[in-house]
Amino acid sequence: MAFSNRLFSVAVYSFIAFFVVICAVPFWMVVVDSFASESSLQTAGYQLFPSEFSTYAYQYLFQGSQLWRSYSVTLVVTVVGTALSLLITSTMAYVMAHKKAKFGGLLSFMTYFTMIFGSGMVGFYILVAIWLGLKDSIWSMILPYLLNPFYAFILVAFYRTIPYEVNEAATIDGANEFTTFFRIIWPMTVPALATITLFYALQYWNDWYLAIMFVDNYHLHPLQIMIRQLIANMNMQSYLQGGNVSFDKPLPVKGVQLATVCVTIGPIILLYPFVQKYFVKGLTIGAVKG
Amino acid sequence: MKKRFAAILCVFLMTTVLAACAGGKSEISQSSASSTQAASEKLDPVTLKILMWGNRPADFDKVVAEAERRMAGTLNVKLDVVFVPVSDIMQKIQMTLASGEEADLIWDSPLASMYSNIASGYYEPLDDLLKKYGQNILATRPPEMFEGNKVNGKTYGIPLGDSQYFGYTYLIRQDIRNKLGIAPIKTYDELVKFAYAVKAKEPGLAPILPSIGFLSEASFRSRFDQETQIRRTQAMADITLYYKNNDGKVYNLLDEMEPKVWDWIKNARKMYQDGIIHPDVLAIKDYEGEFSGGKAAIIPVNDFGVKNNIEQAVMKNVPGGKVEAVTFFDKTPKKNITNFSQWNFMSVPITSKHKERAIQFLNWTQQKENYDLLAYGIQGKNWEAVGDDKYKPLDSNYSWFPYLWIWNPTFERLNASQSEEVIELNKFTRDANNFEKDVLTGFQFDPQPVLNEMTKFKTIEDKYYPTIFNGVLDPDTAWADFKKEGGPSLKKIQQEMQKQIDAFLHE
Amino acid sequence: MFGHIVAFKQFRPSQGIWGSKWAGLDNFKFFFSSDDWIHVTVNTLFLNSMFIFFTLGIALILAIFLNEIRYALYKRLAQSVIFLPYFVSWLVVSFMTYAVFNTSDGILNKLLNAMGEGSYNWYGNANLWPYILTALFVWKMSGYVTIIFFSAITAISSEYYESATLDGAGRFQQILHITLPLLRPTLVVLLLLQIGRIFYGDFGMIYGIIGDNPILIPKTDVIDTYSFRALRSLGNFSMAGSVVLYQAVMGLITILFFNWIARKIDRESSLF
């Protein structure tokens, strides 16, 4: 018994260690090589320890005064969007998972249906830009993503693990639906909510699509659009350098791609420890039951 | 899914949008400058919304402020320029047009969705407006540039360009050529000899690295085919369908192989087997980057001269590395045929409320001092003039993008740092009179009747073309397969195209 | 939803969806008129099945194993590290892939050479690439899925494990009899969610890595890349729409079927 347990432990630790290594090594290369000079990337490719250090890729990425403005737009969109999404998704998923809720199945189906069948691009654009009048509004970057069906269904799966007796007990104690949800159900699903929060935050942080479509005013451009613009136009520009453009040095085409990865990872480095904290103490169900 | 689809559509197309580089003109047409806003009457203030792709240059606001200052009191135009990432511009244009949103000037290109936008009736025909308000616009371009870019006899976009013909070049490593003791290369055979010498004496260096599509080894050679002038058609991005000489006929390689093309293919096959063509030619996406990294000795590119970024990169990456351009372009006047097509246009959407003002504004940009401002930025800060037709950039805060809204062959300045030879070539291609006019100048192919054949053929073409034209597969068997799969579709496209051409020539 | 009508229209944006002429099934012809649609559909299903199976499988194992780890620091660190590849763009992945597999100085060929073997042309053998793509997909995405499983595991009451330990169950048996059954609803939901999209190829990934390489196309071309290549220079809304509609309808049929099966087995884990 003890032996097989130990054998199992060895398997566990080595499997995890193996996976950590294959994830860490390429990622290390991304981070380190984002500080490599463009010429060492061109001649030697990705290296574990680049031969020549340079911050040119970051300088290129962060040129101009747009950076801080974009950063704050992104922060506002991410914080407001994530908070609203969390509220709407969790309440919606609760209804979809609720045994006594009417049309729960239909609601789920409709949610799922829109995930597969979109509305078509032009229709979506006209709805947001013209009917809702959200053109050049910060809300155009928030509202369309409020409910992600994928995350809603993950939450549904979580809610379903909560025994229905919890609801009944709460009702007997005189709690109304809101109290039941926010005071009792919500704390019990903290790990799941933390996960969803993380995913929503990522979604808002990484989005450029809505901004491209609906925001023409560059004062309201989020970070990702700034980066996308630089990268998308970079090849074109480096192509043009041959003609009439002359920069002091070649554009860091390869370096910027790596630097982008490091820049987009920003929020996660801040957010992930919080999320992890909630993963450890998800023992509430047992506590309530007992 | 659709959104992503459309978004990426553009990325690929864009890589060929701009081909030629600048050619300056020393004589400035004085007549155009004098035709400034007929009177100094004061117009109502108006803000024009202009949609284009690119980065917003750091000093853009300063330049716009200066432009608005110059227009204050006369044109009274304010500018709201929206820059979109190049990868998303096509979708952005379509959304703006389809939703009927307010925009006054839009950049478009036949390689994006210009023709389908015209067919959908989105763009205003500009002929009358140009006559009335666009004297400078007309005066700064040869009439062929308008003629060659009409659709159904009308001008739907102001052609932006400074060249009538696109240059093509092999970039080679000069340092290696010198090291091997080979004289400067003048012919394709010498180029091949150089490649074999590289193979023999420079292990670790791939002799030739072509790309895919038209830049495949065997099809790139058509650019230097002076005798028969094999050229691409409007329907295909490569030479599966082609024009020959100037006879107004579409030829079809799958129907009847051109012996010359077959020789090119055979030659590519031999070079691939001999290890002259890079073994991973089909897998490499950034082939210029490989060259810059010092991993190949020869690459084909879409331009005259050595690109600044490549030259500097090679110099930095390889000790003693030096690049030179080898072109077999024949600089005899009237030797080359062109149809004067351009790839960048400024169009006025039908929904714009300021159509006259938009054209008046563009007309205003076609005066030397205004062109200089919008093309190069603030003089003394962003650039300085070198003579009348050259310039020197001083910083990178105002990147060069006249091709998106104002580009013309009259006022465009050359970068003073370019070599004499390149300047000569660029000046040559700028002048419409140096070229034989294609009998099909002004012909545009409408793919609508053969859309299904087009889509089908394109997927088949992608499977075979780069493989065969780079010699990766044995052409004897692969060509038969290509013919079997793609032949029927291509035949129908060819017939439809010939039908449209005959109708065009008949008129 | 109404946007899908463009698939049956000869769509002219200026005329709007309703104003455009009806085209019947014309827009579907380009896709269905040769046998290619069968090949690309098979490729899409095969690749996506591999992606789903291995990603969910590996993520499940990772989550369970992570939960077994007793050193808090190691656990947290491992958790963070396996999530990192999610942030690496497919573009960067494609450059890394090239660095590993290229013929002249790829890492793999250098290894082969060091062992005295000759170089191998990896980009010349199409059969390998579905597996290489799967490995890359698992590498990039399993960390993301692991987080979902891991949060599901932490929601499991510790009482179950305590009583199991009292009954003398080993750790492996606890996983088998407690963790796995309790993770089943999450697993099934994730599975169903993925199955609904099984007809959609991962365009960003496959076009990013394979690009237009004709040698690899026969084995790796999915519906999305196929219609991209067919339509990229034509910009035809309606034809693109017809392919998307095909994917959506097939996806819907598939999901209804699997949801029905899930309901048969366990009402609680079905989606609707």
pLDDT band at residue B499 under the 50/70/90 scheme:
very high
Distant-in-sequence, close-in-space partners of C269: CB < 8 Å, separation ≥ 6 = A157, A160, C184, C185, C188, C189, C262
Closest alpha carbon within chain A to B414 = A244
Q: B20 at the A interface (CB within 8 A)? A: yes
- Residue C254: per-residue pLDDT: 93
**Looking at beta carbons, which residues of chain C come within 8 Å of A124?**
3
Of B116, B278, B456, the CB nearest to C33: B456
Closest alpha carbon within chain B to C94 = B285
- Residue A237: per-residue pLDDT: 62
The order of strands in the sheet holding B251-252 is B231-232, B241-243, B251-252
Q: B61 at the A interface (CB within 8 A)? A: no
Residue pair A88/A211 in contact (Cβ under 8 Å)? The answer is no
Q: B204 at the C interface (CB within 8 A)? A: yes
Rounded to an integer, the average pLDDT of C160-166 is: 86
- Residue A239: per-residue pLDDT: 56
Of A154, B198, A217, A241, nearest to C191 (Cα)?
A154
Interface test with A, best of B86, B173, B291 (most A CBs within 10 A): B86
Window from A68-72, A217-221, C5-9 with minimum mean pLDDT: C5-9
Residue pair B409/B367 in contact (Cβ under 8 Å)? The answer is no
Interface contact A285-C189, CB threshold 8 A: no
Q: C79 at the A interface (CB within 8 A)? A: yes
Rounded to an integer, the average pLDDT of A267-285 is: 69
Q: B280 at the C interface (CB within 8 A)? A: yes
d(CA A166, CA B378): 71
**Looking at beta carbons, which residues of chain A come within 8 Å of C255?**
112, 116
SS3 for B393?
strand
Rounded to an integer, the average pLDDT of A237-257 is: 61
Residues 111-140 of C with CB under 8 A from A: 139
Residue pair B329/B224 in contact (Cβ under 8 Å)? The answer is yes
Interface contact B313-A120, CB threshold 8 A: no
Of C243, C194, C201, C209, nearest to C225 (Cα)?
C201
Question: Within chain A, how many helices (H) and strands (E) appear?
Answer: 16, 0
Q: C19 at the B interface (CB within 8 A)? A: no
- Residue A282: per-residue pLDDT: 46
- Amino acid residing at A50: P
With vertex at residue B344, the alpha carbon angle to CA B343 and CA B348, rounded to the nearest 5 degrees, is: 135
For residue A62, with 0-12 CB atoms within 10 Å meaning exposed, 13-18 middle and 19 or more buried, which class applies? middle
DSSP 8-state secondary structure symbol assigned to residue A181: I
**Looking at beta carbons, which residues of chain B come within 8 Å of A121?**
2-3, 6, 91, 95
Give the DSSP H or E segment for C222: none
Into which CATH architecture does domain C19-269 fall? Orthogonal Bundle (1.10)
Q: C68 at the A interface (CB within 8 A)? A: yes
d(CA A216, CA B374): 21
Of C110, C96, C104, nearest to B280 (Cα)?
C104
Chains with 3+ CB–CB pairs under 8 A to B are: A, C
Q: B95 at the A interface (CB within 8 A)? A: yes
d(CA B177, CA A116): 58
Q: A126 at the B interface (CB within 8 A)? A: yes
Rounded to an integer, the average pLDDT of B202-211 is: 92
**Looking at beta carbons, which residues of chain A come within 8 Å of C147?**
195, 198, 275
- Residue A288: per-residue pLDDT: 42
The tens digit of pLDDT for each residue in B451-465 reads 888 888 988 998 899
Residues 208-227 of A with CB under 8 A from B: 209, 212-213, 216, 218, 225
The tens digit of pLDDT for each residue in B125-184 reads 999 999 999 999 999 999 999 999 999 889 999 999 888 888 889 999 999 999 999 999
**Looking at beta carbons, which residues of chain C come within 8 Å of B482?**
none
Query: What's the length of chain C?
Result: 272
**Looking at beta carbons, which residues of chain A come within 8 Å of C2?**
119-120, 123
Interface contact C102-B283, CB threshold 8 A: yes
* Domain A64-289 listed as CATH 1.10.3720.10: yes
Give the DSSP H or E segment for C30: helix C26-32
For residue B408, with 0-12 CB atoms within 10 Å meaning exposed, 13-18 middle and 19 or more buried, which class applies? buried
Rounded to an integer, the average pLDDT of B475-498 is: 94
Measured CA distances, C82 to A26, C51, C145, C239 (Å): 11, 17, 10, 40
pLDDT above 50 for A244: no
ipTM of the complex: 0.86
Interface contact B285-C30, CB threshold 8 A: no
- Residue B51: per-residue pLDDT: 95
Phi, then psi, of C4 in degrees rounded to 5:
-70, -15
Measured CA distances, A255 to A30, A39, A54 (Å): 9, 9, 9
Measured CA distances, B269 to B169, B263, C48 (Å): 21, 10, 36
- Residue A243: per-residue pLDDT: 41
Window from A154-158, B464-468, B496-500, C240-244 with minimum mean pLDDT: C240-244
Closest alpha carbon within chain B to A133 = B101
d(CA B86, CA B111): 12
Domains, chain B, ordered by start? 35-165+341-434 (3.40.190.10)
CA distance C231 to chain B (A): 6
Interface contact C233-B5, CB threshold 8 A: no
Interface contact A246-B1, CB threshold 8 A: no
Residues B307-334 as b/e (b if ≥16 CB within 10 A, e otherwise) read: bbbbbbbbbbbbeebbbbbbbbbeeeee
**Residue with structure tokens 């006879």?**
B247
Give me the residue spans of the domains in chain C: 19-269
Interface contact B53-A216, CB threshold 8 A: no
In chain A, the N- to C-terminal Cα span, in Å, equals: 31
d(CA A206, CA A225): 9
Longest dimension (CA), chain A: 78
pLDDT band at residue C21 under the 50/70/90 scheme:
confident
Interface test with C, best of B212, B452, B484 (most C CBs within 10 A): B452
Give the DSSP H or E segment for C262: helix C237-265
d(CA A3, CA B348): 79
Of A40, A44, A69, nearest to A52 (Cα)?
A40
Measured CA distances, B425 to B298, B428, C127 (Å): 21, 5, 48
With vertex at residue B410, the alpha carbon angle to CA B406 and CA B413, rounded to the nearest 5 degrees, is: 80
Strand partners, B300: B170
Rounded to an integer, the average pLDDT of C125-148 is: 94
Interface contact A42-B292, CB threshold 8 A: yes
pLDDT above 70 for A119: no
Closest alpha carbon within chain C to B460 = C230
d(CA B117, CA A51): 50
What tokens were used for A188?
């019990």
Q: What is the DSSP string of B30-80?
A: HHHHHTSSSS-PPPPPEEEEEEEES---TTHHHHHHHHHHHHTTTT-EEEE
The pTM for the full model equals 0.86
Of C54, C206, C209, nearest to C145 (Cα)?
C54
- Residue B15: per-residue pLDDT: 34
The tens digit of pLDDT for each residue in B78-121 reads 999 999 988 888 888 888 888 888 899 999 988 888 888 888 88
Distant-in-sequence, close-in-space partners of A133: CB < 8 Å, separation ≥ 6 = none
For residue B110, with 0-12 CB atoms within 10 Å meaning exposed, 13-18 middle and 19 or more buried, which class applies? buried
pLDDT above 60 for A81: yes
Q: C110 at the A interface (CB within 8 A)? A: no
Strand partners, B77: B46
d(CA B422, CA C35): 50
Closest alpha carbon within chain B to A128 = B99
Interface contact B295-C30, CB threshold 8 A: no
Residues 139-168 of C with CB under 8 A from A: 139, 143, 147-148, 150-152, 154-159, 168
- Residue B24: per-residue pLDDT: 31
Of A160, A150, A225, A212, nearest to A188 (Cα)?
A160
Interface contact A244-B88, CB threshold 8 A: no
pLDDT band at residue A280 under the 50/70/90 scheme:
low
Measured CA distances, B291 to A6, A51, B213, C92, C120 (Å): 54, 20, 18, 19, 22
pLDDT above 70 for A7: yes
Residues 78-107 of B with CB under 8 A from C: 90, 94, 97-98
Of B4, A118, A112, B451, nearest to C4 (Cα)?
A118
- Residue A249: per-residue pLDDT: 63
- Residue A240: per-residue pLDDT: 54
Of B3, B20, B412, the CB nearest to A209: B3
Interface test with B, best of A33, A40, A42, A132 (most B CBs within 10 A): A42
Interface contact C218-B463, CB threshold 8 A: yes
CA distance C110 to chain B (A): 13
Q: B320 at the A interface (CB within 8 A)? A: no
SS3 for B347?
strand
- Mean pLDDT score of chain B, rounded to an integer? 86
Of A228, A235, A249, the CB nearest to B312: A249
**Looking at beta carbons, which residues of chain B come within 8 Å of C230?**
455-456, 458-459
Q: A257 at the B interface (CB within 8 A)? A: no
Give me the residue spans of the domains in chain A: 2-57, 64-289
Q: How far is CA B321 from the centre of its chain?
A: 29
Give the DSSP H or E segment for A135: none
pLDDT above 90 for B266: yes
d(CA A120, CA A141): 18
Interface contact B462-C217, CB threshold 8 A: yes
Q: C231 at the B interface (CB within 8 A)? A: yes
